Structure 1
Amino acid sequence: MGTSSSSSSSSSSSIWVLVILSLLHILQPTQGRNPPLLSPSSDHYGTPQPLLPIPSPASPSSSMASPPLVMQMVVVYEHHHMDKELAMAIALSSVAAALVILSFVLACIFWQRNRKDPDPKSGQGSARGVTLGPIMSKFNSLKMTGTKKGSLAMVEYLMLESATSNFSQNNILGEGRSRSVYKACFDGGVLAAVKKLEGCGQDGIREFESEIDLLGKVQHPNVISLLGYCVHEDTRFLVYELMQNGSLETQLHGHSRGAALTWHIRMKIALDIARGLEFLHENCNPPVIHRDLKSSNILLDSEFNAKISDFGLAVTSSNQSKCNVKLYDSLGYVAPEYLLNGKLTEKSDVYAFGVVLLELLIGRKPVEKLSPSECHTIVTWAMPQLTDRSKLPNIVDPVIRNTMDLKHLYQVAAVAVLCVQPEPSYRPLITDVLHSLIPLIPIELGGTLRVSDPSPRGVQRSNPY
């Protein structure tokens, strides 16, 4: 109310000054104008006293002449003039008092209004957080430490110990370089995955902070949801939503060798990945480059919906030049231009997507050893055969061989070939890839294809050639 109060006080002061000056002007001695012509015998109010008898002109005892009639008329006029000025002064004083009261009322109104409507820039409004769905609501209802970073909960270490049975070996979902992932069951039956990062070093700490910062802001059906984090001594923990079918790498190259992944499910997984990348490239501001896209970082839920995970190496287009983190386990997925000169763009993610698409199509690992001293990548091995329609069906994963429309197979192979082109400018945008895959996937799985058997295991064997 500071501005309103000061303006009201200033207005009131000005009015009082005006009133006082007016009264002084009325009551002060009449300097600078003709003095009133009063009778010598009149009182200080200008009221004439009774006139004495007028002596005869010849009387020598007369020491003072009687006032003439004109002077008596002036006295009466001055009396009425003074009454008029007094009435005007009273009227002005009344108006001034009314203005002062009105100013005070207005000042009170402004003060009350300012108390009810604080300045929106004061930061006292409610903050909006990211909604992570029902699992996030359940997770937030659990007992936390009370500290949050953005929309992420800082989880107590003792809670993590209890939920993972003291990080039991029986709860391990996966292991990697200086990290392990455990299945966790919190109070209320809430399931989650806990990634334990040990001996991180400076690079590991940067990855940890980067993942918290990025996933605390991002929400998309094909991007993993980060529910919370914990720092305990030198060990750091990340808590994710649980993906029941594990990673794509485990499904393709584990004990089952891709047995649960039909042609349509594989194409649905590819479509989900493309949608997640499109969101990162086109809808995030600034655009996000994942930089470590690979089958082990693609997680599958109970219905084989795919989500991109592990954003520790992700960068935005605005700060990519500042990053110099080594890609330890991703050589088969790294774009040539990044290996040669460190050039990184969204097309680098498109190259990695092409490698994952070849994994889904062929069922081979991205890098395979031919001998202890020699190895080859899936790109160099498959490229000559991908463009030969007579050879292509023979290199398809035996699990899905002869279970798809050959026309669709050729189209998917053509998309993969474009994505893994050595020259970045020859690769398509991930949006173009997305639109190329949608017509090949049944409506029930998120595409636009209408098939006679709508189930994911439906087979089309027609060969137009």
Structure 2
Amino acid sequence: MISHELWCYLCILVVPFLAQLVSSDVLRQECDRSRNYTANSEFQSNLEQLSSVLPINASSSPTLFSTGAAGAIPNTVYALTLCRGDTANASACADCIGNAFRDAQQACPYNMDATVYYERCYLRFSYQNFLASADNTKRQIVPNGASVASPAATFDAAVGVLLTAVSDYAALNSSMRFSTGVLEDFDVSAPKIYAMAQCRPDIGPAECRDCLEKITRVMPKHFSRRRGGQILGLRCNYRFELYPPFLGNPVLQLKAPAWAVAPSPDGDGPVVPDGDSGNWESVPNINLSILDLQTLEAATENFRDENKLGEGGFGVVYKGALPDGQEIAVKRLSPGSTQGIGELKAELVFVAKLQHKNLVRLIGVCLEEQEKLVIYEYMPNRSLDTILFDPEKRKDLDWEKRFKIINGVARGLQYVHEDSQLKIIHRDLKASNVLLDSDLNAKISDFGLARLFQGDQSKDVTNRVVGTFGYMPPEYVVRGHYSTKSDVFSFGILVLEIVTGRRNCTSYNSEQSVDLLTDLVWEHWTKGTILEIADPLLTSSSAEDKIGTYVHIGLLCVQESPADRPTMSVVNAILNSDGAALQAPSKPAFCLRASSADPEQRRGASHGGGSLAVVSPNEVSLTELVPR
């Protein structure tokens, strides 16, 4: 038998060796050696307390995430733990975090700030309170494997598409902020590319997307043509490989024969499970195709001028037809487009996920050979402004058709504000962004300036005001405050334009240099002569009965105080009721005009200490200024 003394001696020799073996399981570590604790100190006692609590808390949490603090300053220990979203069971998560606490102290002995990353979990503890920090710079870059045979630009672009898809799903569709995906049939050297992405589940969707976008953007710098790679961060992380680095089937499936995703019999990838199955107007899947440039060139006859549907600061929209006969509208962003890659990504994410009969349907995208092309369903009657403000065409818009258009826009706005899984503020609702199908059903388009908001978020602030003169509420223009009530204001303007057939807030030097709200509608409303400013084409008795009600709704929506404006669900309730008693509206907010005669204002001029840039009257699509 081994004596007690010999056993103790063996322990002295073997335990450090075993510790090295355990520590070798750590994928990456970061030790801050600037501040240390001592054995049996209060700090160590607090650390041990957290090491016994956090593995249990994280493994019992539905998001596999936990934070904690123990002890009093200066010996307080703060810690954060997270298990990967595909961790098989609670015990596996608890074991991983328990090992992380042990290995952190062995890999970073007596350091008061240490971070360790495993394949399945990570841990940081520190004497500093980092728990609410938005910093993701404490990250590790891990290249995996040799290079693939594919051309660097093509392979890196394919990985970028996949990482963007899984990042968007993790941010916008998963309570765990975790997602996996596969890009199939890429080429012979990389037939399948797999990826996963994860954020801390305690951060919001927009913050998660922003974090993942930043680390995805540097993928070519660190992993160009690599068979795999991962960026590990406390706030967000991702990984891609040529084999599944995760458990189970991928959530997203993208097919990419010859770099283009061809439509498949059961839908076009990526196929995203429905998050709004409880809403009767939602669609069960998101079907987004990555179309190849050659197909779109053929569809538009090489972007022939005769196929132009419209043109703006972002580029040109062309009519086209796919090989199966489906008519499409192709938005071709110009190299100097005012719609940047951020706006394009926002539009792709929001329009792909927001499925409703009163929102324009996104069909696919093409990012090939420096082209940025977005493909939508074709709307034969184009945009509302091309009919409403045309002296001849608007004769076709009788009252019933205008009623139908107003109601369609109202239903679409209520969906994005209140009924969808994603809650969206459009920020650029106007007549030119309301498209009409063959039956004059209204569909809201152009979500490039839209912003995601939390369900309890009533107001946010931006230092980059974007939108269109004549449709922006005063609190947004002056202070940068935006909320769903910003869209309600724009809706009110749109209602009054539809009823009167007039544009709001045209340029000073135009023939109609009047303010629709204060110079016409409000003046006639207070005098009781509102029928005098209604479009003369609305002559039926049924129209006259409704005009007063719709002007009343419009005025309620454009009141100066956002709190006084109704929500879109209230607006829809009024629209669908007969003789509802309405409160008296207060005087409308002011109108912000643009002078088309002032080239300095159009290009950008000093304004209240900030810069007024790329302003536009209400027939152009983008305004950008700094609020006072």
TM-score (norm 2): 0.46
Tell me, yes or no, if the aligned pair for 1:393 and 1:401 is still in contact at 8 Å: no
- Which of 419, 424, 428 is matched with 1:283 structurally? 419
Structure 1 position 286, deviation (Å): 4.4
C-alpha distance in structure 1 between counterparts of 2:388 and 2:440, whole Å: 13
Name the CA shift for 1:343/1:322 in 2 (closer, same or farther; >3 Å).
Answer: closer
1:205 correspondence with 2:345: no
Q: Which amino acid aligns with 2:530?
A: L
C-alpha distance in structure 2 between counterparts of 1:331 and 1:375, whole Å: 14
The aligned residue for residue 317 of structure 1 is 453
Tell me, yes or no, if the aligned pair for 2:269 and 2:288 is still in contact at 8 Å: no
Deviations 1:275-320 (A, max 9, x none): 0000011123442100110000000000010010000000011498
| Structure 2 SS opposite 1:404 | helix
Moved more, 267-276 or 232-241: 232-241
C-alpha distance in structure 2 between counterparts of 1:394 and 1:255, whole Å: 18
Tell me, yes or no, if the aligned pair for 2:314 and 2:338 is still in contact at 8 Å: no
C-alpha distance in structure 2 between counterparts of 1:389 and 1:411, whole Å: 16
Tell me, yes or no, if the aligned pair for 1:389 and 1:410 is still in contact at 8 Å: no
The aligned residue for residue 519 of structure 2 is 381
Structure 1 position 324, deviation (Å): 4.7
Question: Gaps (5+ residues) in structure 1?
Answer: 4-120, 130-138, 442-465
C-alpha distance in structure 2 between counterparts of 1:128 and 1:431, whole Å: 36
Q: Which amino acid aligns with 1:122?
A: L
C-alpha distance in structure 1 between counterparts of 2:343 and 2:403, whole Å: 31
The aligned residue for residue 380 of structure 2 is 244
The aligned residue for residue 215 of structure 1 is 351
- Which of 373, 376, 399 is matched with 1:263 structurally? 399
Tell me, yes or no, if the aligned pair for 2:268 and 2:287 is still in contact at 8 Å: no
Moved more, 266-275 or 246-255: 246-255
Moved more, 269-278 or 430-439: 430-439
| Structure 2 SS opposite 1:367 | coil
Name the CA shift for 1:197/1:440 in 2 (closer, same or farther; >3 Å).
Answer: farther
Q: Which amino acid aligns with 1:171?
A: N
Structure 1 position 366, deviation (Å): 2.0
Structure 1 position 200, deviation (Å): 4.4
The aligned residue for residue 123 of structure 1 is 248
- Which of 430, 434, 441 is matched with 1:298 structurally? 434
Equivalent residues in 2 for 1:51-450 (5 A)?
Answer: 122-124=247-249, 140=263, 151-200=287-336, 204-254=340-390, 256-318=392-454, 321=460, 324-327=463-466, 330-371=468-509, 375-388=513-526, 390-439=528-577
TM-score (norm 1): 0.61
| Structure 1 SS opposite 2:570 | helix
Deviations 1:435-454 (A, max 9, x none): 1112469xxxxxxxxxxxxx
Structure 1 position 126, deviation (Å): 6.4
Structure with the higher strand share, 1 or 2: 2
Tell me, yes or no, if the aligned pair for 1:222 and 1:276 is still in contact at 8 Å: yes
Name the CA shift for 1:365/1:153 in 2 (closer, same or farther; >3 Å).
Answer: same
C-alpha distance in structure 1 between counterparts of 2:558 and 2:344, whole Å: 30
Structure 1 position 375, deviation (Å): 4.1
Q: Which amino acid aligns with 1:314?
A: A
| Structure 2 SS opposite 1:239 | strand
Name the CA shift for 1:429/1:169 in 2 (closer, same or farther; >3 Å).
Answer: same
The alignment's C-alpha RMSD in Å is 3.2
| Structure 1 SS opposite 2:538 | coil
C-alpha distance in structure 1 between counterparts of 2:333 and 2:407, whole Å: 31
C-alpha distance in structure 1 between counterparts of 2:340 and 2:381, whole Å: 26
C-alpha distance in structure 2 between counterparts of 1:374 and 1:340, whole Å: 25
Structure 1 position 250, deviation (Å): 0.6
Tell me, yes or no, if the aligned pair for 1:193 and 1:239 is still in contact at 8 Å: yes
Residue correspondences, number: 312
**Structure possessing the higher radius of gyration over alpha carbons:** 1
Name the CA shift for 1:429/1:386 in 2 (closer, same or farther; >3 Å).
Answer: farther
Q: Which amino acid aligns with 1:327?
A: V
Structure 1 position 146, deviation (Å): 8.0
Structure with the higher helix share, 1 or 2: 1
Deviations 1:142-163 (A, max 9, x none): 9x99888973111101111100
Structure 1 position 408, deviation (Å): 1.8
C-alpha distance in structure 2 between counterparts of 1:374 and 1:173, whole Å: 27
| Structure 2 SS opposite 1:279 | helix
Q: Which structure is higher in RCO with an 8 Å CA cutoff and minimum separation 6?
A: 1
The aligned residue for residue 73 of structure 1 is none
Tell me, yes or no, if the aligned pair for 1:148 and 1:154 is still in contact at 8 Å: no
Tell me, yes or no, if the aligned pair for 1:246 and 1:300 is still in contact at 8 Å: yes
Structure 1 position 124, deviation (Å): 1.2
Name the CA shift for 1:196/1:386 in 2 (closer, same or farther; >3 Å).
Answer: farther
Tell me, yes or no, if the aligned pair for 1:408 and 1:440 is still in contact at 8 Å: no
Name the CA shift for 1:125/1:228 in 2 (closer, same or farther; >3 Å).
Answer: closer
Percent identity of equivalent pairs: 34
Structure 1 position 176, deviation (Å): 1.1
After the TM superposition, which parts of structure 1 deviate over 6 Å for at least 4 consecutive aligned residues?
144-150
